[in-house]
Amino acid sequence: MKRIGRRTIALDTAPAVLGFASVVGSKEGQGPLREGFDYISEDATFGESSWEKAESHMLKQCFELSCARAKLSPSQLDMIFAGDLLNQCVSSSFAMKDSQIPYLGLYGACSTMAESLLLGSLMIEGGFASQVCALTGSHFCSAERQYRFPLEYGGQRCPTAQWTVTGAGSVILGSAGGGVHVTQVTPGVIVDAGIKDANAMGSAMAPAALDTLKTHFADTQRRCEDYDAIFTGDLGALGHDLLETLLAEAGYPVDARYADCGVLLYDRENQDVHAGGSGCGCSASVLCAHILPGLLAGRWHRVLFAATGALMSPVTTQQGGSIPGICHAVVLEA
Amino acid sequence: MKRIGRRTIALDTAPAVLGFASVVGSKEGQGPLREGFDYISEDATFGESSWEKAESHMLKQCFELSCARAKLSPSQLDMIFAGDLLNQCVSSSFAMKDSQIPYLGLYGACSTMAESLLLGSLMIEGGFASQVCALTGSHFCSAERQYRFPLEYGGQRCPTAQWTVTGAGSVILGSAGGGVHVTQVTPGVIVDAGIKDANAMGSAMAPAALDTLKTHFADTQRRCEDYDAIFTGDLGALGHDLLETLLAEAGYPVDARYADCGVLLYDRENQDVHAGGSGCGCSASVLCAHILPGLLAGRWHRVLFAATGALMSPVTTQQGGSIPGICHAVVLEA
């Protein structure tokens, strides 16, 4: 039996990261992680005529870079798991429409990087695939007009708001080789804490992160000290602090080893992103520009990557709905 | 190695269908499959105050019925794979938000029933889960206002248009028991034939169905005659005929064993649905009201279920984009 405890699955074959890449916009390229990105676009258009096409272009470019890094042609991939924030996940499907790779579309909101890694590594563990790609991203401009206001409106943002990352991450997983391995996965359940403020996503998602981390720690009989680093996806500064409090109350205190990708990605003092970064591209680009390189460089040996997502839409918010959250966790070991 | 040919995966353990259920709206309940549905709503509201909430209610009800049929409580499920057509797939996530079941959100457009069956059965085959739910649905009223016009507008429909099914299907898969088994799966690649007419979805999706069926037949060295029945998801009357032509040209002719769920679901003469049914709920409800019952009753022994999806959005259509299609196939055997 490969299940440990209630929800965690141990991967005996430890699927390997064969290659990875990150592509981001210019704002992200001016932030603290600038050295880690594989490509920084000069502007947000990526040479395209619409924000949606720009997002799709970015995903395709990121996918191709990750294949090159893995020294594989796309035709050697058995499956791709991809998704994004756009309605009907069109930036992913249009990015991959000519790839001829078996395509499994996901919607995990901003948790998609972890969801795609989780399912991709299980495909390899099960012997169903030899090489798999996990791909996701988001774009500030397409997200703003879809979720909030047209950019031209110049709407004010409140201090708890987060900034949707223009960025993509792509990871190629394989059954052999590689310096980093997926050793365990803990899929998340949906947690609805009743938060209704769409400008406080960190608060809405922190209870889901709590549930997944608590479950992962209990399943594996590990604690914070058993990891060199723990990353949540896009809780932002508020959600990060809230999760710290919640974990301490639950008996699983974390220390400075815990960081949030949305906090790491920008210089919050000078980049006007309020509570930090968010979006599918947040944890995806930080994974590929910071976490995986850090594991390869020996900075860390065992990392818990726990991407978070808010499973709402503008319509559910307009209809008075709460914001259910989810968090999927993946253990990466060098 | 569990892979057969290029893309097909053989499931040695043959995951079993432990239970299934379908829930539909009143129009679907007046159609030719009326005897097979587990619940037919008196109206399209399902007692809720919005179409989106109605869709979510329908999914939850369908899920609960399928658990009851499988004689399992939701807490005995290890994972749920679900998705729908609403922006950000909110009808599924809101339906499952209090379930406490590990939730893997999918976006496969109208192919979601096959995608969820495919991934769910691989989870069981790999030993990662003992019981899994595959759930999806769609609602005419929420889809019309999201994709086309508000219902109150009373827009005319052209003859090639299809009618989004108000319906849901839920299948519980398990590692032991059951009278119907998943024996093979063939994940689809995205196929873009360049069709741009959002009122001719059958034509846009037929090339994807062709690709998956052709690949499945080649991988397994089977032909139409090796199946008692073959079902596509929602090509409608036009797409059905187009696929027949395309398959014959490709050297894999099909006969009367081939049917499309979108054609079967309504009485096209009298129910004003033009080219037939469509939507995630189309193949999902036909699977649970017609195909699985037919397998259990001995009407068929081996069936190929090939749900089709169009991976576009209103925005991609407005921006002049084509309509990429996808088709995932699952072999069901009694």
pLDDT digits (tens, 9 = 90+) for A188-226: 999 999 999 999 999 999 999 999 999 999 999 999 999
Determine which of A172-176, A259-263, A329-333, B153-157 has the lowest per-residue pLDDT on average: B153-157
Q: Which of B79, B85, B324 lies nearest to residue A94, judging by beta carbons?
A: B324
Q: Select the more confidently predicted residue: B35 or B1.
A: B35
Q: Decide if A103 and B321 are in contact by the 8 Å CB cutoff.
A: no
Angle between helix axes A201-220 and A236-249 (nearest 10 degrees) is 40
| CB nearest A126 (choices: B86, B106, B122) | B122
CA-to-CA distance for B283 and B165, rounded, in angstroms? 9
What pLDDT digit, counting tens, does each position of A97-106 carry?
Answer: 999 999 999 9
A98·B192 Cβ contact <8 A: yes
Are A106 and B105 within 8 A, CB to CB? yes
Its pTM stands at: 0.98
Q: Which residues contact A282 (CB under 8 A, 6 or more apart)?
A: A110, A138, A164, A165, A167, A233, A234, A261, A262, A265
Task: Give B313's contacts in chain A (Cβ within 8 Å).
Answer: 86-88, 90
Give SS3 for A160.
coil
Distance CA A97, CA A102 (A): 10
Phi, psi (deg, nearest 5) at residue A200: -135, 55
Cβ-defined contact of A103 to B7 (cutoff 8 Å)? no
What tokens does B106 get?
Answer: 């999918």
Query: Is there a contact between B87 and A315 if contact means CB atoms under 8 Å apart?
Result: yes
CB contact under 8 A, B90 and A313: yes
- What's the CA gap between A70 and A81, in Å, rounded? 17
Number of C-beta neighbours around residue A247 at 10 A: 22
Q: Would the CB atoms of B103 and A188 count as touching at under 8 Å?
A: yes
* Share of residues in chain B with pLDDT > 90 (%): 95
What tens digit of pLDDT does each residue of B18-54 get? 999 999 999 999 999 999 999 999 999 999 999 999 9
Span A306-323, pLDDT tens digits = 999 999 999 999 999 999
Quick one: what percent of chain A has pLDDT higher than 70?
Answer: 100
DSSP state of A266: S
- Reported as a single tens digit per residue, the pLDDT across A141-169 is 999 999 988 888 888 889 999 999 999 99
**Angle subtended at Cα B48 by Cα B47 and Cα B50, rounded to the nearest 5 degrees:** 140
Nearest 5°: phi and psi at A140? Answer: -55, -45
List, for residues B81-96, the tens digit of each pLDDT value: 999 999 999 999 999 9
User: Of A249, A85, A285, A298, which Cα lies nearest the Cα of B107?
Assistant: A85
DSSP label of A190 = P
pLDDT above 60: residue B1: no
Residue B218 confidence (pLDDT): 98
User: B310, B109 in Cβ contact below 8 A?
Assistant: yes
Q: How many CA atoms lie within 13 A of B6 on its CB side?
A: 16
> What pLDDT band is residue B248 in, cutting at 50, 70 and 90?
very high
Would the CA dihedral through A197, A200, A201, A207 be positive or negative? negative
Report how far Cα B15 is from the mean position of its chain's Cα atoms: 19
Q: pLDDT at residue B219 above 90?
A: yes
Cross-chain residue pair B94–A126, CB shorter than 8 Å: no
CA distance B81 to chain A (A): 10
Q: What is the mean pLDDT of residues B249-272?
A: 97
> What's phi and psi for B306, nearest 5 deg?
-125, 90
Instruction: Test B122 with A107 for CB contact under 8 angstroms.
Output: no
Determine which of B103, B132, B136, B148 to mutate to test the interface with A (most A C-beta atoms within 10 Å): B103
Answer whether residue A128 shows pLDDT above 90.
yes
Contact of B278 with B148, CB cutoff 8 Å = no
Nearest-by-CA chain A residue for B329? A102
Here the tokens at position B65 are: 């019925």
- Which alpha helices (DSSP H) does A128-179 contain, by range? 140-147
Find chain B residues with C-beta within 8 A of A86's C-beta: 313, 315
* Nearest residue, CB atoms, B97 vs list A109, A123, A324: A324
pLDDT tier at B240 (50, 70, 90 boundaries)?
Answer: very high
Average pLDDT over residues A15-39: 98
Bridge partners (DSSP) of residue A73 are none
pLDDT in tens, A100-124: 999 999 999 999 999 999 999 999 9
Minimum CA–CA partner of B102 in chain A:
A189
Q: What is the pLDDT of residue B217?
A: 98
Contact (CB, 8 A) for B215 and B242: no
> How close A105 comes to chain B (CA, Å)?
5
The 3 state secondary structure assigned to chain B is: CCEECCCEEECCCCCEEEEEEEEECHHHHCCCCHHHCCEECCCCCCCCCCHHHHHHHHHHHHHHHHHHHCCCCHHHCCEEEEEECCHHHHHHHHHCCCCCCCEEEECCHHHHHHHHHHHHHHHHHCCCCCEEEEEEEECHHHHHHHHCCCHHHCCCCCCCCCEECCEEEEEEEECCCCCEEEEEEECCCCECCCCCCCCCHHHHHHHHHHHHHHHHHHHHCCCHHHCCEEEECCCHHHHHHHHHHHHHHCCCCCCCCEEEHHHHCCCCCCCCCCCCEECHHHHHHHHHHHHHHHHHCCCCCEEEEEEEEECCCHHHHHCCCCCCEEEEEEEEEC
Contact B167, B30 (CB under 8 A): no
Most A-contacting residue of B219, B316, B317, B323 (CB-CB within 10 A), to test interface: B316
Cα–Cα dist B88/A53, whole Å:
19
- C-alpha distances out from residue B133 to B21, B83, B184, Å: 11, 12, 18
For residue A240 the two structure tokens come to 């990060």
